[in-house]
Structure 1
Amino acid sequence: MASGPDTSEARRTRVGVLYALAAFFMWGLAVPLHFKLLASIPAPQILAHRIVWASLFALGLIVAFRQVGKLIEAVLSRKRLLLLGISAGLIAINWLVYIWAVNSGHLVQTSLGYFINPLLNVVLGVLFLRERLRPAQVAACLLAGVGVLVLGISSGEMPWVALVLACSFGFYGLVRKIVPVAPLVGFCVESLLLTPLALAYLAVTFADGSAAAFRGNVGLDLLLVLTGFSTAAPLIWFAAGAQRLKLSTIGLLQYLAPSGQLALGVLAYGEPFGWIDAVAFGLIWTALAIYTGSALRSAPDR
């Protein structure tokens, strides 16, 4: 009988790893491939469809999981609604830049953004949450900054796509950290807040004849509808994985997504990746290794 709890915990961990792997597979490979199939459509239209269909998908899950009461509670709280409005704006910026970047041949930069993001989170924690940095974390952040600077000097401009993605998602995470709502409820409220703007924009495209959807191309229409699933599903799987796994485990697994994006951009789509890029990414990967090692040494068992 003594092996029962251990077996239960092992099963919980296995399920958590499967959820996390599914989420990071979606973000690293399936989502960019999905948007590549929609490359003929302007990024703002893809974003608008993503918002509308994600809202419907999230609402369906809210009803299925019987969380309507929690959704109403979140909407009726002025403070929560204001904060979720800010996070909605941040995630909309992140989505728009990501969609544009994927379909404009900048997958390598998107991967850079999400490699930088964990280190930016550390800085935001210090600036806004009064968290303390260990010496290894300071070194990691400085090293990552050097990597970004190398890319900027080599290309003649800062890697703005990577920086916008990292900053928008970093501040999004900061806001969501201080809003006391469940992940699904928060995501649903954010989507619903953005939906009126998305619908208004789509109405304009239909009025001026520039709309790409519902013009007789059933395959394209289906791909647009599925943006709701590809947006909501990995977020829900990630939340399910995070509930079952150590934070240190999630921290390690999260690098799978930008690794997939990098491999996809270089190997599948032939995006340039020269020796200077290798040096810059090497510095950032070294920074991540230092940061992760420090986090693992100081992380509690749960």
Structure 2
Amino acid sequence: MKKYMGNKLAILLFIAPALAIFILFDFIPIVQVFGYSFTDWNGLTMPTFTGLKNYIKLFGDKVFVTSNRNQLIFAIIITVYQMLFATVFAITISDKKMKGRKFLRIAYFIPVILSVTVVCQLWGSIFNGNGLLNKLFEAAGSDYSQNWLGDRYKAIYVISFVNAWQWMGYQFALIVAGIKSIPSDYYEAAKIDGCSNVRAHRKITIPLLAETYKFCLIISVTGGIKAFTEMNILTGGGPNKSTYTLTYMMYNAAFKKSDYGYGLAAATVMVLECMMVMLLINFIFRDKDQGKEEEKSRRKRNA
């Protein structure tokens, strides 16, 4: 193994296929999107270079502000909901004495394998004006009634909940896998020292899941920034564009209005926002020991 690890040609041959796929299907399309965002292009004819016109138009669009606000709301709701409930459920079923662990593990993950369309139709029938939720209020003798998806102020929260409910199981599976990787000796030592289960999980489980939480956080926050499917199915971006996101702006401009330059400008901003979020999360979760080593190296260089 050491022989091959020290052979740069062997390393290059191993990574070449994956690198080629990444360049062909990820890097080159991103560069093309960035380039076409500076043009006036309908997707068929030759693009015309227009400089920063698309970006000036984008940043001056009121829907752009609404879209970014919706992405922030969406990201916060799904992150808090998914990571909180996924952590509680994962820790709960990690207790081997608990009955029904296998059933609960499957039950929590079932929404993930369902089609997004099916999930949206299900919750749409619950939250619409004549839906199940309003019927329950009526059955309870209350006059309270809302068209949850037709209210421009409530719709984004309802859509965020639908996404959070469906994909919580994915975060749950990741956290369960993270808990399984923690040696049981730590918990046995904590029990000998008189720690309760809650204190043991707070002092052992949560800190040792830092890398898992980092990955979960990146998935949920970037997922909020890229939100599209639920908006498209449940509200179509409405009412009155109140549930637009940058992805929906891109879709509307490119595929409905054939204004690909403007749509790709929105896509470029979205990609940059995702990259900034990933860098910020990596910075927050950076290894403290690595930071100390970097500080020592810096002092040595200065000395």
TM range (shorter): under 0.3
Scaled by the length of structure 1, what TM-score is found?
0.28
Higher helix share: 1
Compare CA radii of gyration and give the structure with the larger one. 2
Q: Which has the higher contact order (CA 8 A, sep 6+)?
A: 1
